[in-house]
Structure 1
Amino acid sequence: MSSIENKTDVILIGAGIMSATLGTILKELAPNWEIKVFEKLANAGEESSNEWNNAGTGHAALCELNYTVEKPDGSIDISKAIQINEQFQGSMQFWSYLVNSKLINNPQDFIMQLPHMSMVQGEQNVTFLKKRFEALSNNPLFQGMEFSEDPEKLMEWIPLIMQGRPANEAIAATKIDSGTDVNFGALTRMMFDHLKSKNVDIQYKHSVDNFKRTKDGLWELKVRNVHSGNIERHTAKFIFIGGGGGSVHLLQKTGIPEGKRIGGFPVSGIFMVCNNPEVVAQHHAKVYGKARVGAPPMSVPHLDTRYIDNKKSLLFGPFAGFSPKFLKSGSMFDLVTSVKPDNVVTMLAAGAKNMPLTKYLIEQVMLSKEQRMEELCEFIPNAKIEDWDLVVAGQRVQVIKDTSAGKGTLQFGTEVISAADGSIAALLGASPGASTAVHVMLEVINKCFPQHIKEWEPKIKEMIPSYGVSLMENSVLLREIHSSTADTLGLGHKEQLFSVAQ
């Protein structure tokens, strides 16, 4: 076993969508910086970013009901939806920049236009959806959204879902045609191909085992070649930990104070995939329903048209499950070994607070295929068991931390943890994740490279024209961005879909 020492400017841990995005942005802002990437698997985008391990939804809050909460007075709070939508607009602008600059090719290989819909059942939920529609449709970010509770209109929109339903069922849906299906695995691989062409050193089957701070303020990483067992020492001025669920353990190994009293709770996912082309052909949308009481937000049921490897697919789910692994390729001891003296109280508090979630996950794990079919039949009344197979999706590790809400609060979202001196940052959490990768990585850059922001700002605005601007409050810029991104990314009918009020 040999030991080699190397120095570089930036090290990215994990070859997923986050590292791909950060590396690509940094190469545009500081082309002379040396960047290295370490990934313990054999290829890029194999864990959470892989197209079969996530829903492939371009999360813009067009259909996700958990981003719009009904307040005690009955009004709808759309602030989270506005935030997510604007962040996704930033991603679209950056992807358009990559295409226009010839840094990546063929946007149709990673993004397709697809209607986004919300669908609810029951009088109370129909009332909620109508109020949500009224709140969103008055906002320029959500122009073009339609609402209907007319069975004939719904049969036109979602024939597969409407066939076989009782005539008197209370059901309603919203529809907006400017939604997207995004293959984040393909996009990740495209960006890493670009980074490789820019002499970024990408080392697969290399695992980061430990961290040490050197006397001169650099970070020294102990990197193991998974195949040969050889150990290398790599030092860098800046480290980004983008290892999906594995980021929790890596953050703990850094020893930075900001990583203390933080834990993770893994939730696995299972989708049902339709194997009957005739059924697949009858549905063309991403249709999100409402989560069951006690279910976590990432378990909102949805019926999705997907485009993977240029093939149209139909997926339903996700069904939640529990595995102590923090990654699909992880260890059964991941959860246990993540409990440390500094976070044990936080983890215990989370366990006590989230007994309903634990009960829900146990129930989900115990579901048979027949029971999962019962849930599918709430979406597709005429669904046949022989037309559907099960596919295991990725692991999502939800952040557990102490907040103003109390000890051991389970966080549903994406969070950046960085050292006070900006020398290291880690990305934790899950949805909306990949859809807001550009916003999140700009947050990393602002936190960790404040001394460069003034110098870099013109280039950032070239890549993301809405940087630092509220699109909701600037309808002219919003209209321009909608039109240009639709044109560049090949998202058709832009004149009809993106007509925004002056």
Structure 2
Amino acid sequence: MSSIQKATDVILIGAGVMSATLGSLLKQLAPEWEIKVFEKLSSAGEESSNEWNNAGTGHAALCELNYTPEKADGSIDITKAIHVNEQFQLSRQFWSYLVKSDLIHNPQGFIRPLPHMSLVEGENEVTFLKKRYKALSAIPMFQGMKFSDDPEKLKEWMPLVMEGRTSTEPIAATKIDSGTDVNFGALTRMLFEHLEDQHVEIHYKHSVNDIKRESDGLWEVKVKNLTTGTVEFHKTKFVFIGGGGGSLPLLQKTGIPESKQIGGFPVSGLFLVCNNPEIVDRHHAKVYGKAKVGAPPMSVPHLDTRFIDNKKTLLFGPFAGFSPKFLKTGSNLDLIRSVKPDNIVTMLAAGMKELDLTKYLIEQVMLSNEKRMEELREFIPNAKSEDWGVVVAGQRVQVIKDTESSKGTLQFGTEVVHASDGSVAALLGASPGASTAVNVMLEVLEKCFPEKMFEWKDKIMEMIPSYGISLAANPELFHEIQESTAHVLGLNDKQQVHSM
């Protein structure tokens, strides 16, 4: 049985943090627009946004060493670090606006203050970290960062990491207290509760099976109600595909020229999770190391304090794996089905170029639990196997595309693909992902509704005061925003801060 539904203004596919963010922005900018959301699972934020499926880091380049590469002349390139930090500031501002406007509540339910640290070992790496510290400290967003190569000071900062360390290699770390732990699953659920209050139709257990352009210019979205088996057809002016790893197959179904020559490579993840409360209580930070030579950016090891279900926990990883599924709840045929005549050459070219990645993934898949523990002991020398278990994290689909300089290039970022007329957009890629959701969704608005941006600008500036402004070049504005958002989000609340 099929039913034809009336046309709506906006359809959002996927009930993750990206759709939640775009829907929340649109409800502020165009409250009269009708919005429908379709999600194949039974609730919001169950795939990539779920708190167990990502690292929960408020990615602001405070500790992520891969955002500050060393150039050939030995200097540190901080361009990406500044860019990522400014993007995260946009998210903080929008979340603060929603809290101040009483649209979402209890911010400590999704964001908490947590020191961010970078840890390196070896003379060359210590020199690199010191140069990075000096370069970043001159920028307003990174002021307050501390550097130390004194083992006694490092014991104060991270006692669990330093205890039992016998290496004679030089060791150093940076520490900044303005970092955050973000529960993106909780945030996503809060945003969808808000959208329901704003009369947005949210349909769970509804799978989108096809998207095609009608002769009248509208998009027809074919949806299967997984509870009743009913097939429904919904027409809309605008479609956003925010289905995580499932976005690429749906983008391909649109047939837009921009969807051609794009492929995807799925990578799964594992974390070690500590099940000993005494160990968990002795660490309070996110500590990021440096990826090993030849390893991809996704492999950066980190030891993370997390707050999940109001309980403090400790995770280490990620360990990569391979599954042909594009979603944790996907099909083993996802990768094969994504190979099309228009992207097969691109995919093959990437396969030839990424032999190191293939080798790395094979090695990761073959790791035993004891081998994983050996990697953990590089961070926690005294770690005991019986204190740690394994949790399977989410699937990430890395974008493969042709660039001006190369065919079949594997991308390690987040990318918006949109039709030339702005009637459909899809989000592809992974990290820094959810942390920069507001910036990415503003990009969707700019690309898909350019004629509306002048009309919307004042409201956007009310919600996000630094929109279109460089905070690196405006330290006074940055400090004002940092202070106000910290106050609204409870990041200065002494009850939230665990003193070390």
Cα distance per residue 1:212-242 (max 9 Å; x no partner): 2112111011111122221101000000000
| Contact 1:416-1:428 within 8 A present in 2 as well | yes
Quote the offset at 1:299 in angstroms.
1.4
Alignment match, 2:207: 207
Cα distance per residue 1:395-417 (max 9 Å; x no partner): 00000000123000000000000
Alignment match, 1:183: 183
Residue 28 of structure 2 is aligned to residue 28 of structure 1? yes
Alignment match, 2:192: 192
Cα distance per residue 1:292-345 (max 9 Å; x no partner): 122221110000000001100000000000000000000001011100000000
**For the residues of structure 2 that align with 1:493 and 1:394, how far apart are their CA atoms?**
31
| Contact 1:20-1:188 within 8 A present in 2 as well | yes
**For the residues of structure 1 that align with 2:59 and 2:409, how far apart are their CA atoms?**
24
Quote the offset at 1:169 in angstroms.
2.9
The unaligned stretches of length 5 or more in structure 1 are 498-502
Quote the offset at 1:141 in angstroms.
1.3
Cα distance per residue 1:359-392 (max 9 Å; x no partner): 0000000100000000000000000000000000
Alignment match, 1:58: 58
Q: Identify the range of structure 1 (224-233 vs 325-334) with the bigger mean alpha-carbon deviation.
A: 224-233
Q: 1:339-378 to 2 correspondence within 5 Å? A: 339-378=339-378
Alignment match, 2:69: 69
Give the secondary structure class of the aligned counterpart of 2:407.
Answer: strand
Give the secondary structure class of the aligned counterpart of 1:240.
Answer: strand
Alignment match, 1:170: 170
Give the secondary structure class of the aligned counterpart of 1:357.
Answer: helix
| Partner AA of 1:479 in structure 2 | H
**For the residues of structure 1 that align with 2:67 and 2:438, how far apart are their CA atoms?**
19
Q: 1:70-219 to 2 correspondence within 5 Å? A: 70-166=70-166, 168-219=168-219
Alignment match, 2:235: 235
Give the secondary structure class of the aligned counterpart of 1:482.
Answer: helix
Alignment match, 1:249: 249
**For the residues of structure 2 that align with 1:68 and 1:2, how far apart are their CA atoms?**
53
Alignment match, 1:481: 481
Alignment match, 1:381: 381
Quote the offset at 1:493 in angstroms.
7.0
| Partner AA of 2:237 in structure 1 | K
| Partner AA of 1:189 in structure 2 | R
Alignment match, 1:276: 276
| Partner AA of 1:393 in structure 2 | A
Give the secondary structure class of the aligned counterpart of 1:104.
Answer: coil
| Partner AA of 1:207 in structure 2 | S
Cα distance per residue 1:111-170 (max 9 Å; x no partner): 000000000111111111111111101111100000001000000000000001126331
| Partner AA of 2:404 in structure 1 | S
**For the residues of structure 2 that align with 1:249 and 1:364, how far apart are their CA atoms?**
27
Give the secondary structure class of the aligned counterpart of 1:280.
Answer: helix
The unaligned stretches of length 5 or more in structure 2 are none
| Contact 1:218-1:236 within 8 A present in 2 as well | yes
Quote the offset at 1:6 in angstroms.
2.5
Question: Kindly tell me: are residues 167 and 243 of structure 1, through their superposed partners in 2, closer, same or farther at Cα, counting changes over 3 Å?
Answer: closer
Residue 16 of structure 2 is aligned to residue 38 of structure 1? no
Give the secondary structure class of the aligned counterpart of 1:471.
Answer: coil
**For the residues of structure 2 that align with 1:325 and 1:152, how far apart are their CA atoms?**
46
How many residues of Structure 1 are paired with residues of Structure 2 in the alignment?
A: 495
Alignment match, 1:49: 49
Q: 1:357-436 to 2 correspondence within 5 Å? A: 357-436=357-436
Residue 442 of structure 2 is aligned to residue 469 of structure 1? no
| Partner AA of 2:301 in structure 1 | P
RMSD: 1.0
**For the residues of structure 2 that align with 1:326 and 1:295, how far apart are their CA atoms?**
22
**For the residues of structure 1 that align with 2:257 and 2:32, how far apart are their CA atoms?**
31
**For the residues of structure 1 that align with 2:194 and 2:6, how far apart are their CA atoms?**
23
Taking structure 2 as the reference length, what is the TM-score of the superposition? 0.98
**For the residues of structure 2 that align with 1:365 and 1:385, how far apart are their CA atoms?**
19
**For the residues of structure 1 that align with 2:320 and 2:8, how far apart are their CA atoms?**
41
Give the secondary structure class of the aligned counterpart of 1:103.
Answer: coil
| Partner AA of 2:204 in structure 1 | Y
| Partner AA of 2:326 in structure 1 | F
Give the secondary structure class of the aligned counterpart of 1:473.
Answer: coil
**For the residues of structure 1 that align with 2:203 and 2:434, how far apart are their CA atoms?**
22
Quote the offset at 1:94 in angstroms.
0.2
Alignment match, 2:12: 12
Cα distance per residue 1:169-213 (max 9 Å; x no partner): 311000000000000000000000000011100000101111121
**For the residues of structure 2 that align with 1:217 and 1:410, how far apart are their CA atoms?**
33
| Partner AA of 2:378 in structure 1 | E
Give the secondary structure class of the aligned counterpart of 2:45.
Answer: coil
| Partner AA of 2:308 in structure 1 | I
Give the secondary structure class of the aligned counterpart of 1:400.
Answer: strand
Q: Identify the range of structure 1 (278-287 vs 165-174) with the bigger mean alpha-carbon deviation.
A: 165-174
**For the residues of structure 1 that align with 2:55 and 2:37, how far apart are their CA atoms?**
26
| Partner AA of 1:434 in structure 2 | A
**For the residues of structure 2 that align with 1:468 and 1:362, how far apart are their CA atoms?**
43
Alignment match, 1:500: none
Quote the offset at 1:2 in angstroms.
2.6
Taking structure 1 as the reference length, what is the TM-score of the superposition? 0.98
| Contact 1:4-1:231 within 8 A present in 2 as well | no
Alignment match, 1:455: 455
| Partner AA of 1:179 in structure 2 | G
**For the residues of structure 1 that align with 2:427 and 2:151, how far apart are their CA atoms?**
44
**For the residues of structure 2 that align with 1:368 and 1:222, how far apart are their CA atoms?**
44
Alignment match, 2:286: 286
Give the secondary structure class of the aligned counterpart of 2:48.
Answer: coil
Alignment match, 1:308: 308
| Partner AA of 2:72 in structure 1 | P
**For the residues of structure 2 that align with 1:368 and 1:29, how far apart are their CA atoms?**
51
| Partner AA of 2:427 in structure 1 | L
| Partner AA of 1:153 in structure 2 | K
| Contact 1:15-1:39 within 8 A present in 2 as well | yes
**For the residues of structure 1 that align with 2:89 and 2:274, how far apart are their CA atoms?**
31
**For the residues of structure 2 that align with 1:311 and 1:211, how far apart are their CA atoms?**
41
Q: 1:323-338 to 2 correspondence within 5 Å? A: 323-338=323-338
Give the secondary structure class of the aligned counterpart of 2:393.
Answer: strand
After TM superposition, what 4+ stretches of structure 1 lie above 3 angstroms from structure 2? none
